[in-house]
Structure 1
Amino acid sequence: MNLNYLTLDLSDDADGVVTIEALASTPAAHHADVMAEVQQVLDWAWRHFPHTHGPVDEGLDWDHDLQVNVEGGQWHAVTLTLSASARFAEAFEAAFPSDRD
């Protein structure tokens, strides 16, 4: 799946929890397109891991937080943060390839 606005950044911690950040900062005219991509990512997650949403440190596969900020009245910054298990992150990277080293 292609993402035209969201930039992905993946990192993992010592406990094996992967953090996936999907970021976009655009003029107001593109905000609906960004939010459509956010919905595409969330729809994928719900479709592939429907019963394991919740705290990863409690054994579930994924959790999410969505932040939307308007800067200067016209610029929209969107951050979708996913906390993920290794198996979720692997499936996510297959569906949404990134430039992760």
Structure 2
Amino acid sequence: MTTLAILTVDLSDNDEGVFTIEALASTSARHHAAALAEAQQVLDWAWDAFPHTHGPADEGGEWDHDLQVVDEDGGWHAVTLTLTGTAEFARAFAQAFDFGRDDDA
């Protein structure tokens, strides 16, 4: 089990059973590499745990992702990793990253 130290995570779902996991960080240049490393750690986990099911839900995929990296004013950097997936994917994420232990995620 891993705890994310830099990325802030939010989990939501919709009426169609698709879960969205947003992992966000806005950091100074000094911490930017660490934020990117955490995002990569999450992606590495997803590829390892669900290696053959990547793709959009409407095409039968169990999980998909979008990574955005933006340079902001004042030398800040934003990292946004958005994962969408099934309930099983969301539960596995919550267990792997010690997220939502107080909830029944």
Regarding TM over 0.5, the answer is yes
Identical-residue share of aligned pairs (%): 65
Which aligned pairs between 1:1-101 and structure 2 lie closer than 5 A?
1-99=2-100, 101=103
Structure 2 unpaired stretches of 5+: none
Deviation (angstroms), 1:65: 0.3
TM superposition shift of 1:6: 0.3
Structure 1: gaps (5+ residues): none
TM-score scaled by structure 2?
Answer: 0.91
Q: Deviations over 1:9-68 (max 9, x none)?
A: 000000000000000010011110011101100000000000000011222110000011
Q: Is the 8 A contact 2:93 2:99 kept in 1?
A: no
The 2-side partners of 1:58 and 1:92 are apart by 21
Cα RMSD between the aligned structures? 1.2
Deviation beyond 4 Å, 4+ runs, structure 1: none
Measure, in 1, the Cα distance between the counterparts of 2:57 and 2:86.
6
Alignment size in residue pairs:
101
TM, length-normalised to structure 1: 0.94
Amino acid of the residue matched to residue 95 of structure 1?
A: A
